[in-house]
Amino acid sequence: MAKQLHKRFSAQEVKMLLQKYLDGKVKLIYILEILKVKRSRFFELLKQYTEDPDNFSIQYKRKSATRRISDEVEKNIINELKKEKRLIEDKEIPITFYNYSYIKDQIYQQYEQKVSLPTIINRARKEGFYKPRQKKRKTHDREILTNYIGELIQHDSSHHRFSPYADKKWYLITSLDDYSRFLLYYRLVEKETSWQHILALQEVFLTWGIPFSYYVDSHSIFRFVQGRDSIWRKHYLLTDEVDTQWKKVIDECKVKPIYALSPQARGKIERPYRWQQDRIVRTCAREGIKTIEEAEKVLEKEATRYNYHQVHSTTGEIPILRFERAAREKKSLFREFTIPSPYQSIKDIFCLRVKRKVDPYHKISIHNLKFRVHKAPLRGEIELRIVPDEETGIAEVRIWYKNILTDVYQVKNSDLNLVHF
C-alpha cells in the first residue's frame, strides 16, 4: 500500500509539479503517475495551490472529533444499558453478556434515534456496563460448505426459559437452509416430541419442497442408538423396529439424514439458535411476556427481521435474497413434494406409525383401544398411520394393509397415549 502523499513528497516538490501542469509543461497523466493520486485529489491540490500558493500544504488533516450526541440520546443509551444489566444479573434466564447491537436496534425502534455501535460501546465502557467476553474457544470453520439451497437443512431444538416472567421453559424448533442461512421453519412448543418434529418436516416439505439432506444431532427422536435407547425402544416405540418415527418420514420421502456425532460438529446446528435465544429472551423480558402465545409473536418478528432484513455475517447477504437468487439460477436441490403411491393423503406421510397383527376376531388393539380391520387377512400385519390434531384433540387413525387403506377411525389423542411419540 502506497504511503500518504506528505510522506513521499515535500510541499515544494508538489508545488513545482502543479506549476508545470499550469504552464502546460507536463501532462496530467504523468503527474498522476508520479504523485500516485486520483484525479479528484489532484484537482483539490491544484485548487488549494492556485487560491493560496504561499500557504499551500500537503500535510494530512484529521477530521474533527465526531459530533456530540444529544442529552436525550445519551439518556436512552444509559437506560437501555441498565435494562441489559438486570437481565445479565438474573440467573434464571440464558443471558450472560451485553448485546450492543440489540441496544442499537431498540433505540431506533423505540425512540427513532440513530446512534452508532461504537458510541454505545464507548458509553458502556465509560459507565461500567461492560463485561469482557471469555477467551474464545477454537471452533470449526464457519464457511458455507454447500452449493445449493435444499442441499442440507440444519434442524434442531433448544430448551430455555425464554422469558423471566414465564413459569416454565419452552422448546424452540427451527430448520435452516445451510446455503442461504434462510430460516425455513421456527416454532416454540411446550413439549418436544417426535410429532412436533414431524410437523416441522411437513411445513418445510409442503412450503419449500423436499430437500436432499437433513443435518441433526443424535437425539433419540432422530436416531436410535443400541444400548443407549434400548429401554426407550422397548417401552415407547410400540414396535420392535429401530427406526424412529421422524426417520420413517424422511426415509419415505427419500431424504438423507446426517448426524452430528461430536460436540464440535453439533456447534454447526446450534449456532443459528444463539441469536434467536438472545434476542427473543431480551425482548420477552422487556415486554413482560408470560405466555408461549405472546412469545410466538416475538419469535415471528425476530425471524422476519433475520430472514428479510439482516445481512448474514457468514454469507454477506440477506438470507431471503440469497435464497431467491439461488432459486432463479437453478442452484436448488429441492424437489416438489408429491404423495407417493399408493398413499392418498399427506396424512399418510406426515404421521406416527405403529404396526400390529390382525387377531382371530379381525381386530387389532393399541392402548386398550380395539379397531376392526375389514380388508386384511387373519394374522396379517397392518400399519396404523396416526395423525393427531392438537386443536381438536382428535387423532385420525388410518389403517393400511400392504397397498390398501382398509379403515379410518377418529380417536381422542389422550386415549392413544401419544405423549412418548
* C-beta of residue 389 within 8 angstroms of C-beta of residue 365: no
- Confidence check: pLDDT of 241 > 70: no
- At 51-101, the pLDDT tens digits run 888 888 887 655 544 457 888 998 999 998 988 888 888 777 777 888 888
- Confidence check: pLDDT of 322 > 60: yes
**What's the rounded Cα separation, in Å, for the pair 11 and 30?**
18
> Span 394-417, mean pLDDT?
93
- At 94-150, the pLDDT tens digits run 778 888 888 998 898 888 888 998 999 998 988 888 877 665 554 444 566 799 999
- Confidence check: pLDDT of 368 > 90: no
Backbone angles phi, psi at 381, to 5 degrees: -90, 125
- Distinct helix (H) and strand (E) counts, the chain: 14, 11
In this structure, the strands spanning 352-357 and 381-388 are antiparallel
State the DSSP code for 115.
-
pTM of the model: 0.73
